[in-house]
């Protein structure tokens, strides 16, 4: 049974929140809990614990180890995560697979591509706008990996064929992707950027295709870093195919135009 469905008349239910608010520390989870309950229509009694003595006394009386603590009606619900679960919401830290990080990066890259096109060409949509957007996406994806190269390389080893043969390639990849993206965004040193993008994109596309469509393995993609919950699949393959395309298009455009 959905807990949220069990409390349909939240407007008529009082939620008592006990949270830490001292001169040294304001508990962020306490604030988030109060805000969440108010947004869900509960009448909130906000009890702030303003000293260490008051906090320890509350914990002892309530038989709990942490604050905030929430009571809805006569029921002791618990802290912020327990309240979210009680309301039928996702709990932070859940390991469900999601495309949200990739969507956020690609959407932001598109907007940056439009912005750069406007500044450089005086129009939102120009011939270079797709290049700006894709190069930005490569840079942002590389940056995600560079935040924790060790974690990225570990997850990368699950499916990348070259990294499995040469482990150091997993450490090289984030720097190569970021550098290629920046150079393509600037339209500079394409003789370096294009081969880099073509090489890592080709190896990546082959690796993803084999892992997902031939071996039919269910893996997490390291495309947004080593701690992501993005599933390895069509999006990952598309990312690599786009890099391959950029690696071919950028030098070809220089020859044509």
| DSSP, residue by residue, 198-246 | HHHHHHHHHHHHIIIIIS----B--TT-TT--PBSSHHHHHHHHHHHHH
From residue 65, alpha-carbon distances to 55, 58, 74, 75, 81 in Å are 10, 10, 20, 17, 15
The answer to whether 225 touches 144, Cβ cutoff 8 Å, is yes
Residue 39 has a pLDDT of 92
Give the pLDDT means over successive 10-residue stretches in the chain (257 positions). Answer: 45 86 90 93 93 93 93 91 88 70 92 94 88 94 93 91 94 95 92 95 95 90 80 87 92 81
At residue 6, the pLDDT reads: 41
The confidence score (pLDDT) of residue 3 equals 45
Say whether 9 sits in a helix, a strand or coil. Answer: coil
Residue 10: predicted pLDDT: 57
CA nearest 37: which of 57, 56, 19, 61?
19
Give me the DSSP letters along 91-146.
PTT-----SHHHHHHHHHHHHHHHHHHHHHHSSSS-TTHHHHHHHHHHHHHHHHHH
CA distance linking residue 36 with residue 86, whole number of Å: 12
Structure tokens of 212?
């997902």
**pTM as predicted:** 0.75
pLDDT for position 55: 94
| Token output for 211 | 């892992």
pLDDT score for 247: 92
Residue pair 50/22 in contact (Cβ under 8 Å)? The answer is yes
């Amino acid at each position: 049974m959905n807990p949220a469905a069990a409390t349909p008349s939240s407007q008529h239910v009082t939620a008592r929140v006990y949270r830490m608010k001292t001169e040294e520390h304001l508990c962020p989870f306490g604030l988030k809990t109060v805000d969440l309950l108010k947004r869900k229509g509960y009448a909130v009694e906000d009890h702030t614990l303003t000293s260490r003595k008051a906090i320890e006394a509350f914990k002892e009386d309530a038989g709990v180890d942490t604050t905030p603590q929430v009571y809805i009606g006569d029921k002791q619900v618990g802290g912020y995560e327990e309240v979210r679960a009680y309301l039928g919401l996702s709990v932070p830290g859940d390991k469900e697979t999601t495309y949200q990080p990739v969507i956020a990066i690609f959407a932001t890259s598109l907007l940056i591509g439009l912005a750069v096109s406007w500044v450089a060409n005086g129009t939102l949509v120009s011939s270079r706008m797709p290049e700006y957007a894709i190069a930005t996406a490569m840079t942002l994806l590389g940056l995600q990996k560079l935040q924790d190269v060790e974690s990225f390389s570990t997850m990368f080893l699950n499916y990348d064929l070259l990294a499995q043969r040469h482990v150091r390639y997993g450490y090289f990849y984030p720097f190569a992707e970021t550098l290629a993206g920046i150079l393509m965004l600037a339209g500079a040193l394409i003789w370096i950027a294009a081969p880099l993008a073509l090489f890592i994109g080709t190896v990546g596309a082959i690796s993803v295709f084999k892992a997902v469509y031939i071996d039919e393995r269910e893996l997490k993609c390291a495309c947004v870093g080593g701690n992501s919950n993005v599933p390895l699949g069509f999006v990952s393959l598309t990312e690599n195919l786009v890099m391959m395309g950029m690696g071919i298009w950028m030098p070809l455009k220089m020859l044509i135009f």
